[in-house]
Structure 1
Amino acid sequence: MEPTTRDSACFEAGIKFGALYHQFAGTPVNPESAASLETAIEESIENQPFCESVEVEILTDKLADAIDHGYTELTGKFMEVEIVVEQEGTKVVTKMEMEDGYPMMKIESVTK
């Protein structure tokens, strides 16, 4: 069976989340550098094929609480992310949020 456009668009969204998380997890960050890191992440992932938009919010209040020596490392607990992929008229909206202490990446909607 051939993959559908829907299948491919969902796969593309997963690829983008994998790249985002594993490329940027561990990056040194503090509340003052959070905005520039958000922009860097968004612009980096938006370069990939079929990526319509990326919105990254680094949760600076949680970040500030975790800092004990000037910075901390970026992890999923400090980010909320939305990635929108559009491929051949199929739009996939995905999000990453913490769920039971783990950064869960999930499909919010698929529309044609």
Structure 2
Amino acid sequence: MSADKTDRNTTPDNKAQAVFEAGIKLGALYHQWVGTPISPKTAASVEKAIENAVGLQPYVTDIKVKIHTEMMAINSFGYSELAGKMFEVRITTVYEGAKCVAELKLENEYPMMKILSLEEI
């Protein structure tokens, strides 16, 4: 067998691309927003800002963001820092007939990202 294995079809299918799009967007969201100054009074506007920003990206057809304000540790200046464990995010991506629904939420004290569903549409 040849050392060159490029003769196999390694092109990802549409479902794989839809999953990739969801995963990369959740990872970017997490790392872009963790550490943001936040308070219970500003949480709703930050949720909306994240939805609006991520929703602009290619292949995103829906995103819902919930920040669990009860997890905030308010400092002496009256605000907290957004932590990954506070996120509850559901995102839908569609790529050429494939739809992926993924989420980011606290699971066993860790902000887990997972695929909830994947289908051809």
Q: TM-score, normalised by structure 1?
A: 0.93
Deviation, 1:91, is 0.8
Does 1:47 find its partner at 2:34?
no
- In the TM superposition, 1:1-112 aligns within 5 A as 1-63=10-72, 66-69=73-76, 70-112=78-120
Q: How many residues align?
A: 110
SS class of match (2:26): helix
Structure 2 runs not aligned, ≥5 long:
1-9
Alpha-carbon RMSD: 0.9
**Larger-Rg structure:** 2
Structure 1 consecutive aligned stretches of length 4 or more whose deviation exceeds 2 Å: none
Q: Distance in 1 between matches of 2:82 and 2:71?
A: 11
Structure 1 runs not aligned, ≥5 long:
none
> What code does the residue aligned with 1:26 have?
G
How far does the alpha carbon of each residue in 1:53-82 deviate from its partner, in whole angstroms, 9 at most, with x for none?
11000112222xx21321111012111000
How far does the alpha carbon of each residue in 1:10-51 deviate from its partner, in whole angstroms, 9 at most, with x for none?
001111011101110100000000000001000110111000
Structure with more helix by fraction: 1
Q: TM-score, normalised by structure 2?
A: 0.87
